[in-house]
A and B are shown apart, each in its own frame.
Chain A
């Protein structure tokens, strides 16, 4: 099976702009989670989607949003970008009933200037 894919891999945006990142999970995986990784804060959970519904949300401002489509693909959007949003954004998918193992994509490196 193909692994989790994320597009784009690299992105440079300017403060105030918005950005949309895409994630395609492993075929058959219906849960998709998003994480932000920065040198200062480490890996932090953004949100989780399951069957097109947000099931869990981390402690991030409302500028961060996401959605999941019927084919389990997911997008996350960040509006009004700030310099501090520069990070590696990781998407992970998992199987229903799995005890917690997640399969990660390669990430999208977002740089905000």
Chain B
């Protein structure tokens, strides 16, 4: 079953703009992860944020986590055409068992 929902389901922006995707989840978590999937291919791990962290950066990526609202957001700054992909949040994994994914946000970055 799905843990939560990403919002929006699809996002289309121009190169150079920022892209923000949101994720909500239902149960308590130890951490939350974001993955990227290029069309029809495997998932690539982007960033993991632990439940005691509020914000984390990695290159052009910024992730926030609000455990009181059970939500997270992923910000991609200065988007590039190569960022075109689907982005998924996932909870669980490790000692919490299997990863549970949201339905994903499909990002299209137009050159």
Contact = CB atoms under 8 A, between A and B. Distances in A.
A104 B98 contact: no
Interface residues of B, number: 27
Contact of A102 (B2, B41, B93, B103): B93
Contact of B42 (A44, A56, A104): A104
A90 B88 CA distance: 14
Contacts of A33: 98-99
A45 interface: yes
Contact of A101 (B40, B45, B88): B45
8 contacts: A33-B99, A59-B1, A88-B40, A92-B43, A94-B93, A99-B50, A100-B94, A102-B93
Interface of B: 1-2, 30-31, 33, 35, 40-45, 48, 50, 88, 92-94, 96-104
Given A100-B30, A101-B93, A104-B42, 15 more contacts: A43-B104, A44-B1, A48-B98, A56-B97, A58-B98, A59-B1, A97-B94, A99-B30, A100-B92, A100-B93, A102-B43, A104-B35, A104-B43, A106-B41, A107-B40
Interface of A: 4, 33, 35, 42-45, 48, 56, 58-59, 88, 90, 92, 94, 97-107, 109
